[in-house]
Structures are given as C-alpha cells and as structure tokens.
Amino acid sequence: MTTFLDALTWIADPANWGGAQGISARLLQHLAVTLVAVLAASALAIPLGILIGHTRRGRGVVVALAGAVRAIPTLGLLTLLALLLGVGVEAPLLALVALAVPSVLAGAYAGIESAEPAAVDAARAMGMSELQIVRNVELPLGAGVLVGGLRAATLQVVATATLAAYTSDTGLGRYLFIGLKARDYPQMLAGAILVAVLALLLDRLLATAQDRASRLAHSTEGTP
C-alpha cells in the first residue's frame, strides 16, 4: 500500500507536472497522438465502411483482412516499424492508425448494415438518391454502432500509445518504462495510474457519445 501512496504522492507533486517531460506535456502528447491516430483511421475507414455497408459488397474480404490485422501483436508492429522508420513519432503513429482501422471499419459497416431494410426500401421508393439514403436513413440509424466502433478503436489506441513509449519518447507510457528501467516502482505505478485514468475517462466520454448517437435512431423512428 505504501508504494501506491508513493505513486499518488508522485502524481500530486507539482514538480512532476511542469516542463517538457512533465505530466501535463506528456498527457497532451498522449491525447494528441490518440486523436490524430483515430481521426486518420476514421478518414480511411468510415467512407470505406459506409460503402461496404451500403452496397453489402466486399464484406468477406474486409472481415478476413481485419481479422488478420487483429492477430498481429501490437508490440510487434511497433518495434518493427520503429526499426524501419526510426525512433521518431511517425512509426508509432503509423502502427496506431493500422490498429485502429479494423475497429472503425467494423463499426461503420455494421452500423450502416443495421439500418432496417424496410426503411431503406421506403426511402428509395420515396425517390431519395443513394447518397440521401446514406445520409438521412442509414447513418442516423447506424450512428450508435458507428460510434461504438470509434470507442473500441480509441481504447485500443490509448493502450497501444502507452506501449509506443518503448520505442519512442512519446506520451505517458514513458513513465512506465523509465520507472521499469530504474526499478522506481512508484514512478512506474504513477504512469500506470495516469494511463488507466485517461483510458477510463475517454471510454466514459465515448460511451455517452454512443448513447446520444443511438438515440438518433429513435428520434428518426418517430418522424413521418
């Protein structure tokens, strides 16, 4: 228990918050890397997921591909890319995008596919264009599932961004590895606590967003 208190004391110490190696800087870095990776993955995977969900084509290929990506150990991808691209932030960022894509893609196509076929047919019969169907029918109906995919991707990225500190001087994970190397358990534990709290907060935030997005489907149900 004393180690735990030491870790909390370490976090509470204002001296550990300032500067380029401080908690605030590393926290922002961790958040920025996560945000960039999830946004980049979304830019790639959401349009593709919508296309697959709407046309119902290519699902098998994507599922198989995403399954294979899922089986790649994240640490392997990180170390491999670090050897190939150097110890900068580019290698982990690329790895994070690659790891986020399957979850975002799965959420996007599963969301679009979850739209009631009768609703889609009705929209088509009313003369909506395919683009209008996606925007006005399928996206609102599938928004909850789509945000669920973003949530899963974000969790994965926050966790993997911690491992990224093994190959590059990035984010909160650095405290873990510095502490590990120096056998400084309180600092290591402090890093672990900070990452865990960040992950939990992001998860709650996205869970709320997911709830809101799911309600979109119900609000459309009522309109004539």
Taking the least distance from each CB to another protein, the nearer of 54 and 151 is 151
Dist. CA 166–CA 79, nearest whole Å: 8
Residue 165 DSSP SS3: coil
Cα angle: 86, vertex 70, 85; to 5 degrees: 10
The residue from 39, 207, 218, 221 that contacts another protein (CB under 8 A) is: 207
What are 140's two structure tokens? Answer: 């609102």
- The answer to whether 37 contacts another protein (rule: CB under 8 A) is no
- The answer to whether 205 contacts another protein (rule: CB under 8 A) is no
- The answer to whether 199 contacts another protein (rule: CB under 8 A) is yes
Give DSSP secondary structure letters for 178-196.
HHHHTT-HHHHHHHHHHHH
Q: How many residues bind another protein (CB under 8 A)?
A: 54
The residue from 15, 20, 71, 118 that contacts another protein (CB under 8 A) is: 71
Taking the least distance from each CB to another protein, the nearer of 43 and 200 is 200
- The answer to whether 151 contacts another protein (rule: CB under 8 A) is yes
- The answer to whether 180 contacts another protein (rule: CB under 8 A) is yes
The residue from 80, 119, 209, 216 that contacts another protein (CB under 8 A) is: 80
The residue from 42, 103, 168, 170 that contacts another protein (CB under 8 A) is: 103
> Is 69:44 a contact under the CB 8 Å cutoff?
no
- The answer to whether 106 contacts another protein (rule: CB under 8 A) is yes
The residue from 167, 170, 171, 217 that contacts another protein (CB under 8 A) is: 167
- The answer to whether 216 contacts another protein (rule: CB under 8 A) is no
Count of beta carbons in the 10 Å neighbourhood of residue 26: 24
Query: How far are the Cα atoms of 7, 65, 125 from residue 31, in angstroms, in the given order?
Result: 22, 28, 45
Dist. CA 127–CA 131, nearest whole Å: 11
The residue from 14, 15, 73, 118 that contacts another protein (CB under 8 A) is: 73
Amino acid of residue 55: T
Dihedral sign (CA 174, 176, 182, 185): positive
Dist. CA 53–CA 139, nearest whole Å: 10
Contact footprint for another protein (CB under 8 A): 3-4, 63-64, 66-68, 70-77, 79-80, 82-84, 102-103, 106-107, 110, 144-145, 148-149, 151-152, 155, 158-159, 162-163, 166-167, 173, 176-177, 180, 188-189, 191-193, 195-196, 199-200, 203, 207, 210
